[in-house]
Amino acid sequence: MAGHSKFKNIMHRKGAQDAKRAKIFTKIGREITTAVKAGGPDPDGNPRLRAAIIAGRAENMPNDRIKKAIDAATGAGKGDDYVEMRYEGYGPGGVAVIIDALTDNKNRTASEIRSAFTKNEGNLGETNSVSFMFDRVGEIVYPADKATGDAMFEAAVEAGAENCESDEDVHTVITQPSDLAAVRDALIEKFGEPQKAALIWKPNVMAPTDDETVQTVMDLVEALEDSDDVQTVTTNLELSDAQMSKLAAA
């Protein structure tokens, strides 16, 4: 799984360089508004909201934008009602893809996602068509300079995490979904706010491909992420060391 983690790190760096900041803020704002409507405006009592605020701060989202998103859900603004949707399908080379979305127009979102698959050699499938190849887990990410790998591993396991993987860029802590909030809070006491703390889809079956297919999968992911409605895109693409080096250098 370390290879997949490294791939995500590369994708995050490329996304931070290439994506329009306004689009990122729009996605996070939707998540904040939805979290408030689901669990209230107090981050201490609403783990989902706290995770969304952490994500916003990691992207340097202005505090007034965060407050505006919260106000939109509490009646101080005109907040839209977003519906959570999950889409599944196969990309080039049989790579499995899961898309989580927040939308106020299901028909528009489905059309955009179907178009992205069609234009990038993929096929949109039915619900649960690929989810069996993923596990739902909690993920907490810290920069590598926050602690040594051993120190982060020991603190994570002591807090109740299942595992911690470290590389030259980040520490990635994995938890059971129900343990995410408790582990996150324990690590915050030791290391401060993380870069990320959220539920994710973690592949349990990987799909290796050739170099040409890797690029096509990347194109599909970028096309899907271009939609304001799409919150996250997860694949089970497996990369060789050579392929990861090429992506990192691109």
Q: Which pLDDT score, from 0 to 100, does residue 81 have? A: 84
pTM: predicted TM-score of the whole model, two decimal places = 0.87
69-72 long-range CB contacts below 8 Å, 24 or more apart? 69/28, 69/29, 69/30, 69/32, 69/33, 69/36, 70/32, 70/33, 70/36, 70/41, 72/29, 72/33
Under DSSP, the state recorded for 62 is -
Sheet containing 83-90: which strands, arranged edge to edge?
123-124, 83-90, 96-103, 230-235
> Which tens digit of pLDDT belongs to each residue from 41-87?
999 899 899 999 999 998 889 999 999 999 988 876 555 789 999 99
**Mean pLDDT score across all residues of the chain:** 89
> Which tens digit of pLDDT belongs to each residue from 115-156?
999 999 999 999 999 999 999 999 999 999 999 999 999 999
Q: For residue 11, is pLDDT > 60?
A: no
Give the pair of three-digit tokens for residue 250: 């691109």
Mean pLDDT, residues 11-16: 54
> Which tens digit of pLDDT belongs to each residue from 92-109?
999 999 999 999 999 999
- Element (DSSP H or E) covering residue 172: strand 170-175
Q: Which pLDDT score, from 0 to 100, does residue 1 have? A: 36
Q: Please give the domain boundaries of the chain with CATH numbers for all domains.
A: 2-74 (1.10.10.200), 83-132+204-236 (3.30.70.980), 134-203 (3.30.70.980)
Q: Which pLDDT score, from 0 to 100, does residue 14 have? A: 55
DSSP-assigned beta bridge partners for residue 234? 98
Q: For residue 203, is pLDDT > 60?
A: yes
